[in-house]
Amino acid sequence: MKLRVIITFTLVSMLILAAQVWGEDSLTASKGYNWSSFFGKPFFANSNTLVLVHSTPLIQGVQLPSYKSPKKALMLSALLPGAGELYAKSRLKSLVFFSIEVAAWVSYVYFYKDGKRQEDQYINYADQNWSREVWENWWNIVPEDEKKTTFASETLPDTKTQQYYEMIGKYDKFNAGWNDVQWTTWQEGYKNTSGRRLYYMDLRYWSNRALKYATAATMIVLANHVISALDAAWTAHRHNQSQAPVAIQLRYVQWEGQPQMVAELTLKW
H or E stretch at 61: strand 56-62
Say what the pLDDT of residue 100 is: 97
206 and 234 within one domain: yes
When pLDDT is averaged across residues 100-126 and rounded to a whole number, the result is: 97
259 and 126 within one domain: no
Give the model's confidence band at 155: pLDDT under 50 very low, under 70 low, under 90 confident, else very high.
confident
222 and 93 within one domain: yes
Q: Which are the contacts of 172, defined by CB distance < 8 A and separation ≥ 6?
A: 151, 190
Residue 183 scores a pLDDT above 60:
yes
Q: Which amino acid is at 78?
A: A
Q: Name the least confident of 87-91, 151-155, 207-211.
A: 151-155
Which strands sit side by side in the sheet containing 56-62, from one edge to the other? 56-62, 246-255, 258-267
Residue-wise pLDDT tens digits, 48-72 = 433 343 444 444 445 556 888 999 9
146 and 59 within one domain: no
Say how far apart CA 181 and CA 163 lie, in whole Å: 22
How many structural domains is the chain composed of? 2
No. of helices (H) and no. of strands (E), the chain: 9, 5
196 and 227 within one domain: yes
- Nearest-5° Cα angle at 94, 89 to 97: 155
232 and 151 within one domain: yes
Say what the pLDDT of residue 46 is: 40
Give the model's confidence band at 43: pLDDT under 50 very low, under 70 low, under 90 confident, else very high.
very low
- Nearest-5° Cα angle at 177, 174 to 183: 105
Say what the pLDDT of residue 248 is: 59
* 214 C-beta neighbours (distance < 10 Å), count: 19
pTM of the model: 0.64
87 and 55 within one domain: no
* 154 C-beta neighbours (distance < 10 Å), count: 12
234 and 160 within one domain: yes
Coil vs helix vs strand at 263:
strand
Cβ burial of 148 (10 Å; 0-12, 13-18, 19+) is: exposed
Say how far apart CA 177 and CA 162 lie, in whole Å: 18
138 touches 146 (CB < 8 A): no
203 and 81 within one domain: yes
Phi and psi at residue 18, in whole multiples of 5°?
Answer: -65, -35
Cβ-defined contacts of 96-99 (< 8 Å, 24+): 97/224, 97/227, 97/228, 97/231
174 and 58 within one domain: no
Domain encompassing residue 57? 2-67+243-267
Phi and psi at residue 249, in whole multiples of 5°?
Answer: -145, 155
125 touches 169 (CB < 8 A): no
Q: How far is CA 80 from the centre of its chain?
A: 9
86 and 211 within one domain: yes
Say what the pLDDT of residue 146 is: 82
135 and 41 within one domain: no
Say how far apart CA 97 and CA 14 lie, in whole Å: 45
